[in-house]
Amino acid sequence: MVVFNRVRIWYQNEIEQLKPLVRDAYQRIYRYQLERTSLLELQMREAIAQTTPILEIFMEHIPHYKSSYIKVLARQEQLAASDLILCFDRAVYELHLYASLGKEIGKYANEAPWSKELRTLLNERQEIEPANNSNAEEELFLASGKVASSGHAEGIATVILHKDELVNVRNGDILVTEMTTPDFIEVAPLIAGLVTDRGGIVCHAAILAREFNIPCIVGCGNATEAVKSGQKIRIDAVSGIVMGCANE
């Protein structure tokens, strides 16, 4: 325990350095995804490059095959902007995963500097933001949240609570889930819309949706309870409202 606490202290400076860099990188990604200009891409790449040396320090505390996402960031000039975005988000996701699982991951929990400060930093982009429900039509209203990728979609809802259920997703479905993980990339080309219980504008679901141009509402809180699989729904990813179709 003494060694564990020392490791946490040793990494405190790195965690403090990482905080503003990760926040800035995600904001740069968000701005680029909205406009996709050459200047914004350059700024995004520079912001991600600033995080890479510090992320590399934590590589030894996650499994080798998981740390490869961090390694690739050092060769970002070989990556298209879309691939860089997804790779960076996957690298942070893996660091977040091992910071969150604690005792469940054996030696990685015992040897790693998963301090409260680091977990808090990595949790930031998954926070729910308050939603404004004032425009909802009461008889059709199901849920509301934050618009992550604008647009409109109508289709059959598929509620996914575990990645093993992704095989149930069909072309044109609106996927409703608590929060996406990198496993959801395989069904992204199929879905017409995406709704999540958790998340903010730079969460994994938001980034994924903007890369695939999918209308997306995040941070609904109770969408997986309010929406039923097989139900026909409509999402207004301009005002942030999820509604059941009138004839359902």
Q: What is the pLDDT, as a whole number, of residue 138?
A: 39
168: nearest Cα among 160, 178, 176: 160
Domain boundaries in the chain? 2-125, 141-244
In the chain, beta strands by DSSP E: 141-144, 146-149, 151-160, 174-177, 193-196, 216-218, 232-237, 241-244
159-166: long-range contacts at Cβ-Cβ below 8 A with a sequence spacing of 24 or more?
Answer: 159/224, 159/227, 159/228, 159/229, 161/224
127: nearest Cα among 206, 193, 187: 206
Which fold is adopted by the domain 141-244? Glucose Oxidase; domain 1 (3.50.30)
Q: What is the pLDDT, as a whole number, of residue 205?
A: 97
Contact (CB, 8 A) for 149 and 216:
yes
Give this prediction's pTM.
0.77
Per run of 10 residues, the mean pLDDT along the chain (length 248 residues) is 44 83 92 94 96 89 84 93 93 77 48 62 64 46 94 96 96 97 96 96 96 97 96 92 78
